[in-house]
Amino acid sequence: MIASVALLLALGGTSLAAVNALPRSSVGTAQLKANAVTSAKVKNGSLLAVDFRSGSLPAGPVGPVGPQGPAGMSAREDILAETPTDSVSPKTVRANCSAGKKAVGGGVEVGGTGRSRVTVTENLAAGDNAWEAEAFEITSTALTWKLEVHAICVTIAP
């Protein structure tokens, strides 16, 4: 009889534990105390690289050296061209790169006492090797102004 009671208690305790078990995914970060999960409590192979903070894992082996890339740009040259400072309108100016160089950028600036009455209508690459700008007076003025164009020119390897 004592053996039967012991067996009944043993089996009853197991079923009670099964009833009180937590449902899957019911405990999250908010329910855990700091440092509650340790290495000993984590199943080997259950974590992925995304589960770790960036830089926490060691880098993998160095891969093979890739092929040589194409040569880049070299021999940068800044070219400035400007119109006379007067009240003539419209004005167009072009900054041309040296032979063999390409314009990869540029810009325009209006200078002089009449600059507030001038609008730029063109500011762009002119072909492969120049930068061009155009501007005119919004309202006619006797105040003087000039147009300055800046071209960034480089040699591009074939």
- Domain assignment of residue 35, yes or no: no
The CA-CA-CA angle for residues 121, 149, 129, to 5°, reads: 100
Distance of alpha carbon 29 from its chain centroid, rounded? 32
Instruction: Provide the 3-class DSSP secondary structure of residue 31.
Output: helix
pTM of this prediction? Answer: 0.57
> What are the per-10-residue average pLDDT scores of the chain (158 residues)?
53 54 74 79 83 87 92 92 97 97 97 96 96 96 97 92
Q: Are 104 and 128 in contact (CB under 8 A)?
A: no
- Domain assignment of residue 145, yes or no: yes
pLDDT given at position 11: 54
The two structure tokens encoding residue 73: 């740009």
- Domain assignment of residue 117, yes or no: yes
CA distance 155 to 152: 11
- Domain assignment of residue 105, yes or no: yes
pLDDT given at position 4: 53
- Domain assignment of residue 130, yes or no: yes
CATH number, residue 115 = 2.60.40
Residue span of the structural domain in which 103 resides: 73-156
The two structure tokens encoding residue 125: 């690459």
Domain count, the chain: 1
- Domain assignment of residue 55, yes or no: no
- Domain assignment of residue 120, yes or no: yes
